[in-house]
Chains A and B, each alone.
Chain A
Amino acid sequence: MESTTDNRRKRWDTRLLRVKELADLHQPIASALRFYHLVLELQAEISSRSRLVFNPELPLRSQIDVAAVVSEMPALLSLSAQHGPEPLREAAHQWNSFGEQEWIQAIQSALDPARPLSAGPEDFFPRACLQPVAENLQSQLSEDTYTANNVCPVCAGLPQMAVLQPEGDAAGRWLLCSLCLRQWSFRRLICPWCREEDKDKLPRFSSEEWPAVHVEACDTCRRYLKAIDLTVDGLAVPLIDEIAFSVLDVWTADRGYTKIVPNLMGF
């Protein structure tokens, strides 16, 4: 158990370190990253407090202790109220005025696998609290073999980004779950949303400045995900880097594409 705790701690430390580093490098997104840093700190704490043992017989989402998640809510709301951008502050104040019942409702709504997570505060608050709890659960499962699923094989969540990792001399694609942050192997050159495989409909946009980030889009369903290429930048922490390159989300959105699921910072 101790080593698990250590691993968890290490995981959060890496993320915290990276978000700080990137906040200094990417001015246009710095304010969001600084706020994300605070959220990550809180998430790390939530993670250290959550000690559920995963039961492989049951769906992951049903194993989440909603009451425990609710108990994390005040800290997040006060953090958001203090440090969040103006509209989020307002939302935080508003949420503070709700009772626990509304929070439970919101958390359960965020846990509904049929509904994609949205970018706004109504999903931000529950999701920020849920992510570390769900991650702790899924990380108790060993790495699974390949599945063709475009939803998370553990919690059925939709992917919020892709990670390209070394496979032979090339880069294999993994998707990252928007809820439990699990990474699962998913093949290249297929749309993770509509399964389009026509290469002419699957453009990859990359900027010259950042060879390790790509926008993998689909012209059929007009959806996209960003991919962080660890075969180009092995120091990237995909979860964090994906947010740091949100400028590409802006660029892509301007061209009429929609992200499958926005990341926690709402990009």
Chain B
Amino acid sequence: MDLSRRSFLKTGVAGAVGLSALGFDLQPLQAQSSSLKISRTSQTRSTCPYCSVSCGIIIHTIGDGAKNVTPQVVHVEGDPDHPINRGTLCPKGASLLQDIVNDRRLLKPQVRRPGSDHWEDIPWDQAIDEIATRTKALRDADFIEQDKNGKTVNRWESMAFAGGCTDTNEFNYLVVKSMRSMGVTCLENQARV
């Protein structure tokens, strides 16, 4: 057979000038294509943060294509592939978009000073520095290296850390590392209650 098959081995439209592989006129399509308003959506697999069924969800965002553009969440759907929820969501999960985009969110670090009746804004660096200073001072004051029997205990009992229910494993592990290395004994989590 004499047909130069390989020469046709381009896909239908790529590189074609004016005609498609079968010979359809591409001009009208090209004209139409330049007038289309196309958006680029990213779909992110996430997990519902509420109960322990851990329903899979897919979060749709637009605007990730361009740099310096904050993506916007436009839709949250159940993950159709998820073996447990199979695309369904409960009334809490179904309204997750309202949790992701919520005007009650805290947006700035704040501090309430002793005796004060209001919040003040505080720069991040200052907040971190103040917290670290207080933390160190407290540890240096209360750290116990040996108990009354002379046994090494290396513990710090005057500081507590309370972890939440939606903290990830990895974050919790950072907590364990940082807190246990400082000797914190009062380490608790929503898991207890």
Asked if A and B touch directly (CB within 8 angstroms), the answer is yes
Within 117-161 of A, Cβ neighbours of B (below 8 Å) are at 118-122, 124
| Chain A residues positioned under 8 Å from B26 (CB to CB) | 250
Q: How many A-B residue pairs have CB under 8 A?
A: 181
B30-38, B139-147, B170-178: which lies at the interface = B30-38
Q: At the interface, yes or no: A58 with Cβ under 8 Å from chain B?
A: no
A160 to chain B, nearest CB (A): 11
Q: At the interface, yes or no: A59 with Cβ under 8 Å from chain B?
A: no
Interface size, chain A (Cβ < 8 Å): 62
| Chain A residues positioned under 8 Å from B31 (CB to CB) | 28
Complex contact A84–B77 (CB within 8 A): no
Complex contact A202–B43 (CB within 8 A): yes
Which of A124, A188, A250 is close to B80, meaning CB atoms less than 8 Å apart? A188
Q: How many B residues touch the partner, as a band?
A: 35 or more
A159 to chain B, nearest CB (A): 14
Among residues of B, the one whose C-beta sits closest to the C-beta of A28 is B28
Which of A119, A168, A171, A203 is close to B12, meaning CB atoms less than 8 Å apart? A119
| Chain B residues positioned under 8 Å from A29 (CB to CB) | 24, 28-29
| Chain B residues positioned under 8 Å from A35 (CB to CB) | 24
Complex contact B8–A189 (CB within 8 A): no
Within 44-63 of B, Cβ neighbours of A (below 8 Å) are at 44-45, 58
| Chain A residues positioned under 8 Å from B8 (CB to CB) | 118-122
| Chain B residues positioned under 8 Å from A57 (CB to CB) | none
- Binary contact readout B72-92 vs A (1 if CB under 8 angstroms, 0 otherwise): 000001111100011111000
Complex contact B39–A27 (CB within 8 A): no
